[in-house]
């Protein structure tokens, strides 16, 4: 079963704009990860944020984590057409040590 949900389900923006995706989850976690999946390719790990961290940056990516609200957000700044993909959050469950994925946000960046 899916751990949580991403919001929005789909997002369309122009190149250069910022894209924000949200993830909500249900149980206590060790960490939360974001993955990207391009059409026809496997998932690629983007960034990991630990449960005791609140914000993390990697290049054009900014991730926040609010454990009190059981939510996370992924911000992609200055988007490019190559950012077009599905983005999944995945939580590493404290009790089961299992990585559980959300339902994904499909991002379309128009040139």
Partner 1 sequence: EAGVVQSPRYKIIEKKQPVAFWCNPISGHNTLYWYRQNLGQGPELLIRYENEEAVDDSQLPKDRFSAERLKGVDSTLKIQPAELGDSAVYLCASSLGIPVNYNEQFFGPGTRLTVL
- Per CB under 8 A, residues contacting partner 1 are 1-2, 30-31, 33, 35, 40-45, 48, 50, 88, 90, 92, 96-104
State in angstroms the smallest separation of the CB of 96 from partner 1: 8
* 53 class by beta-carbon count within 10 Å (0-12 exposed, 13-18 middle, 19+ buried): middle
Shortest Å distance, C-beta 74 to partner 1: 14
Pick the closer one to partner 1 by CB: 100 or 109: 100
Task: Compute and round to an integer the Cα radius of gyration of the chain.
Answer: 13
Asked whether the beta carbons of 92 and 32 are under 8 A apart, the reply is yes
User: CB of residue 82 vs partner 1: minimum separation in angstroms?
Assistant: 18
Q: Which is nearer to partner 1, 15 or 45 (CB)?
A: 45
Neighbours of 48 (CB within 10 A): 16
Nearer to partner 1 by Cβ, of 16 and 50: the residue is 50
| Closer residue to partner 1 in complex, CB, 43/75 | 43
Q: b/e for 19-33, b at 16 or more Cβ within 10 A?
A: bbbbbbbeeebebbb
Mode of pairing for the β-strands spanning 29-37 and 10-14: unpaired
As measured in angstroms, the least distance from the Cβ of 45 to partner 1 is: 5
């Amino acid at each position: 079963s899916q751990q949580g949900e991403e919001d929005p389900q789909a997002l369309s923006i122009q190149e250069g704009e910022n894209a924000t995706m949200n993830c909500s989850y249900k149980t206590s976690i060790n960490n939360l990860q974001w993955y990207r999946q391009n059409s026809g390719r496997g998932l690629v790990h983007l960034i990991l944020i630990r449960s005791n961290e609140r914000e993390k940056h990697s290049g054009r990516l900014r991730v926040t984590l609010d454990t009190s609200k059981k939510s996370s957000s992924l911000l992609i700044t200055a988007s490019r057409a190559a950012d077009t993909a599905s983005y999944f959050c995945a939580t590493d469950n404290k009790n089961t040590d299992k990585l559980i994925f959300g339902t994904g946000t499909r991002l379309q960046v128009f040139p």
